[in-house]
Amino acid sequence: MAKGGKKDKQAMSPRIVNRKARFDYAIEQSLEVGIVLAGHEVKAVREGRVSLGEAFARVEPDTGELWIYNLDIGAYKHAPVVDHEPKRRRKLLAKKQQIATFATLTASKGATLVPLTMYFNDRGIAKIELAVARGKTHGDKRETLKKNDAKRDMQRAMTRKRIG
């Protein structure tokens, strides 16, 4: 229990990870940003009703604001809102200098902003770890699979040695 007899919300809410992002993209630089959510969306995120698989972010050139698209937040079952839009665009919160850095890094061809994880920090504020990433080729993906298989085989062999 936290202060005041309330339940610890950090322990209750899951950390949503975009596993597909690290496989499909080569991560260059990452940054933690805040996200603007409606009340019922916060509760849905705490239940884990989020999909980061198709989401991407973009710096709007005319306003200079950072927005995330296709972030799928499912409906909270106890919410009175009937017209819930699960994939609406949502504003991301970052400093102007950080947004400018993201804009220059994604201006080059092949670079995009991809969400890696979504979680609540220790103060209970929703955060997204956003990364500048470049798409991997088919050969790069195959090489990643080979490395992961070799690492897994080495780990298995080491655990067998300790037991046997």
Give the architecture (CATH level 2) of 7-136: Beta Barrel (2.40)
Written as six digits, the tokens of 86 are 């699960």
Whether residue 104 has pLDDT greater than 70: yes
Pairing of β 66-69 and β 56-59? antiparallel
* Residue 71 Cα to chain centre, angstroms: 9
pLDDT in tens, 34-61: 999 887 888 888 888 888 888 999 998 8
Whether residue 117 has pLDDT greater than 70: yes
Looking at per-residue pLDDT, the higher value among 152 and 23 belongs to 152
pLDDT of residue 3: 54
Place of tokens 């300790």: 162
pLDDT of residue 11: 54
pLDDT in tens, 76-90: 888 776 677 888 899
Three-state SS for 37-61 is: CCHHHHHHHHCCCEECCCCEEEECC
pLDDT of residue 81: 65
